[in-house]
Amino acid sequence: MPSTETVAEPLVSLRDLHLSFGSNAVLKGIDLDVHRGQAVSIIGPSGSGKSTILRCITGLLQPQRGTIRVGATEVHTLAQEAQRIELRKRVGFVFQQYNLFPHLSVLENLVIAPRKVLGQSRIEAEKQARALLAKVRMEHKANAFPGQLSGGQQQRVAIARALAMRPELILFDEVTSALDPETVGEVLTVIRELTEEGMTCVLVTHEMRFAEEISDIVYFTENGVIVEHGSAAQIFQHPTSERTQAFLRHAVGDPGRRLAISNDPYLLSNLGRYSLSV
Ligand SMILES: Nc1ncnc2c1ncn2[C@@H]1O[C@H](COP(=O)(O)OP(=O)(O)OP(=O)(O)O)[C@@H](O)[C@H]1O
Ligand SMILES: [Mg+2]
């Protein structure tokens, strides 16, 4: 049995994270904790470093300074990609681009990694896949191919695919910002249910009302620093920083719908590293 102290330790802990791209200092001393079962949102202006923080948590980017711990793994010490792939088996990552395997049916998209990576039998993997598709209300599309689905449907399948690996936590990076407004709600409903079930989630989102509703803790970032953090009520109802107040004045009510990933060259050139290549 773990001691009480162990239970109280955060699942994710970032300390004094510094990361630059050349001369562009993007993270300038980030401290952030995520406890098991929490939903933690990171909000802030475009370019403030939100996606970079998520990429550090999952070992896609290495900071120049600071520490990253996920469970017992000291992520900043992992020297080889193979070690980081081990980490990504435990940390789900869902982002704007659904990145489903286009040549596989919806069901097979959910079956392949658990079979190849976790060693599940086909029967076991299919049973789990169907249960997860029911959970995201996509069981009727089990035999469809990703290209035959709407953006919102693909995103729900992508969430189910991440869950199929039974991750310790899931990172969501603006998963609704490329969707048609009418499909945003169905994806948010799935995420809301996950957080209610106690799945540990870190969300980067421009959906402020959603962040306020579902988050235990909210971090506001600007220019690579955490300006303030606190409970959702604290940050949205009583922000102490003028910067947070100014940001929220403009951001609330603006879902921040933007173009697809063509504006994020890092994502485009690293897509294969996000999902386990199987
Ligand atoms: N691979 C990269 N190479 C060089 N610069 C990068 C790279 N990735 C991000 N940046 C820069 O780092 C800064 C922070 O980017 P990041 O994507 O983390 O911001 P963000 O808060 O997620 O913004 P948005 O809300 O627009 O998604 C930006 O100035 C961006 O141009
Ligand atoms: Mg981003």
Residue 8 lies in a domain: yes
* 150, 138 contact by CB (below 8 A): no
Q: For a ligand 1 pocket test, name from 266, 268, 271 the mutation site with the most ligand atoms within 8 angstroms of its C-beta.
A: 266
* Mean pLDDT in residue range 121-149: 97
How far does the centroid of ligand 1 lie from the alpha carbon of residue 35, in Å? Answer: 26
Q: Is the pLDDT of residue 271 over 80?
A: no
Closest CA to 61 of 14, 19, 11: 19
User: Which of 16-20, 62-66, 79-83 has the lowest average pLDDT?
Assistant: 79-83
pLDDT tens readout for residues 206-236: 999 999 999 999 999 999 999 999 999 999 9
**Residue identifier of the C-alpha nearest atom 13 of ligand 1:** 47
Q: Which atom of ligand 1 is nearest to the CA of 263?
A: 26
Please, what's the b/e burial string for 241-264 (b: 16 or more CB within 10 A of its CB; e: otherwise)? Answer: eebbeebbeebeeebeeeeebeeb
Task: Indicate the pLDDT class of residue 261, thresholds 50, 70 and 90.
Answer: very low
Residue 277 lies in a domain: no
Answer with the residue of higher pLDDT: 123 or 259. 123
The CATH number of whichever domain residue 171 belongs to comes to: 3.40.50.300
- pLDDT, residue 137, reads 95
Round to whole Å and give the CA distance between 273 and 267: 9
Task: Indicate the pLDDT class of residue 170, thresholds 50, 70 and 90.
Answer: very high
Please, what's the b/e burial string for 112-133 (b: 16 or more CB within 10 A of its CB; e: otherwise)? Answer: bbbbebeebeeeebbebbeebb
Residue 278 lies in a domain: no
Residue 276 lies in a domain: no
Q: Supply the range of the domain harboring residue 215.
A: 4-271
How far does the centroid of ligand 1 lie from the alpha carbon of residue 96, in Å? Answer: 14
How far does the centroid of ligand 2 lie from the alpha carbon of residue 73, in Å? Answer: 25
- pLDDT, residue 250, reads 85
Residue 186 lies in a domain: yes
Collect all residues with Cβ–Cβ distance below 8 Å to 181 and sequence separation of at least 6.
255, 257
**Rounded to the nearest 5°, which phi and psi values hold at 40?**
-115, 125
Collect all residues with Cβ–Cβ distance below 8 Å to 129 and sequence separation of at least 6.
107, 110, 111, 114, 142, 160, 164
- pLDDT, residue 265, reads 56
**Residue identifier of the C-alpha nearest atom 30 of ligand 1:** 47
Average pLDDT, the chain: 90
Domain count for the chain: 1
How far does the centroid of ligand 2 lie from the alpha carbon of residue 94, in Å? Answer: 12
Give pairs for 264-267: CB < 8 Å, separation 24+.
Answer: 264/51, 264/96, 266/51, 266/55, 267/51, 267/95, 267/96, 267/97
Residue 230 lies in a domain: yes
- pLDDT, residue 257, reads 44
**Rounded to the nearest 5°, which phi and psi values hold at 12?**
-120, 135
Any residues with Cβ below 6 Å from ligand 1, and which? 21, 24, 26, 46-52, 266
Whether the pTM exceeds 0.95: the reply is: no
